[in-house]
């Protein structure tokens, strides 16, 4: 490039002084233009070489990543439940190759009705009884903000430890979630009745042996009876013969010892 510039400059001056022909000056100028074109071509070649080097690096990185995919790993520690893929089998991206389950801790899932969902809070203690009779204890870790469209219930998740892996995936459990305490009475389910307006409640013996009626709210049904709320702390509930009396009549009651 430098030589071509010197030759072109010398030829131009000699031609201007009359010591060189115009053809020689034009030839020197053409040589300079060719040198400039060569420089631009060399620059383009350098850019192309750099691009090729970057493409080669990307190809190497992609190949290394593909090599990492040869070893399939799970994002968590667990148990291999099923092994779908066999040695030598061709798997497409996204194809199922194995099932890994994590059982410790294990998640218990239930659904709370919309009438009771306000009594459930995240972080509350919860107990569960498996179909085998085993009792476990954990805490509420999730409470859905939207109801299931078909059942109108809210998903509740409880996390419990499962160190020995005795609880298996898919087992049935009955879940109880702790909430604010409330006073309640345990009564025989047969003691419930309806008044003339269709309200659910119990008949009781009041002052002077006069029968009264008190509406109740059912809290929980158990094998030992039914827990109800809405009664005074002390009340003489009629558990036998309540269907033969009405509110306001006088009765000669026979009392029995309270068991709970």
Is 212 in contact with 206 (CB distance < 8 Å)?
yes
| pLDDT score, position 21 | 52
Total domains in the fold of the chain: 4
Give how far the C-alpha of residue 41 lies from the chain's centroid of Cα atoms, to the nearest Å. 59
| pLDDT score, position 143 | 94
Is 116 in contact with 161 (CB distance < 8 Å)?
no
Q: Is residue 259 included in any domain, yes or no?
A: no
A 10 A CB-CB count for 168 gives 12
Rounded Cα distance between 28 and 35, Å, is: 11
Burial (CB < 10 A; 0-12, 13-18, 19+), residue 151, is: exposed
Q: Is residue 251 included in any domain, yes or no?
A: no
Is 230 in contact with 214 (CB distance < 8 Å)?
yes
Task: List the domain range (segments joined by +) for residue 88.
Answer: 75-102
- Split the chain (260 residues) into runs of 10 and give each run's mean pLDDT: 60 55 59 71 84 90 84 83 82 84 91 89 91 91 93 94 88 87 86 89 91 90 88 89 87 75
Q: Is residue 249 included in any domain, yes or no?
A: no
For the chain, counts of helices (H) and of strands (E)? 2, 14
Q: Is residue 256 included in any domain, yes or no?
A: no
163 plus 116 within the same structural domain: yes
Q: Is residue 118 included in any domain, yes or no?
A: yes
| pLDDT score, position 36 | 73
- Summarised one tens digit per residue, pLDDT across range 189-204 is 889 999 888 899 999 9
Q: Is residue 34 included in any domain, yes or no?
A: yes
- Summarised one tens digit per residue, pLDDT across range 13-69 is 655 555 545 565 556 566 667 767 777 788 888 888 888 888 999 999 998 888 887
Q: CATH number for the domain including 151?
A: 2.40.30.170
User: How many CA atoms lie less than 13 Å away from 183 in the CB half-sphere?
Assistant: 5
Tokens of 149: 């469209």
132 plus 168 within the same structural domain: yes
């Amino acid at each position: 490039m430098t030589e071509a510039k010197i030759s072109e400059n010398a030829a131009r001056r000699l031609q201007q002084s009359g010591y060189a022909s115009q053809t020689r000056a034009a030839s020197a100028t053409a040589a300079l233009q060719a040198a400039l074109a060569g420089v631009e071509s060399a620059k383009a070649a350098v850019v192309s070489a750099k691009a090729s080097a970057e493409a080669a690096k990307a190809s190497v990185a992609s190949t290394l990543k593909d090599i990492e995919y040869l070893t399939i790993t799970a994002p968590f520690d667990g148990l291999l439940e099923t092994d779908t893929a066999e040695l030598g089998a061709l798997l497409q991206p996204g194809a199922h190759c194995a099932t890994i389950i994590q059982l410790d801790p294990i998640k218990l899932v239930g659904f709370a009705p919309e009438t009771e969902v306000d009594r459930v809070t995240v972080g509350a203690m919860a107990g569960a009884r498996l179909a085998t009779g085993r009792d476990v204890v954990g805490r509420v870790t999730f409470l859905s903000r939207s109801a299931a469209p078909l059942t109108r219930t809210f998903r509740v998740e409880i996390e419990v430890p499962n160190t020995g892996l005795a609880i298996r995936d898919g087992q049935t459990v009955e879940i109880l979630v702790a909430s604010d305490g409330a006073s309640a009475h345990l009564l025989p389910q047969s003691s419930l009745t309806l008044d003339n307006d269709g309200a659910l409640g119990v008949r009781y013996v009041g002052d002077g042996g006069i029968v009264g009626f008190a509406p109740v709210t059912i809290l929980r049904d158990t094998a030992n009876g039914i827990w109800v709320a809405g009664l005074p702390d002390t009340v003489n509930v009629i558990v036998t013969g309540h269907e033969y009396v009405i509110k306001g009549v006088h009765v000669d009651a026979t009392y029995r010892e309270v068991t709970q």
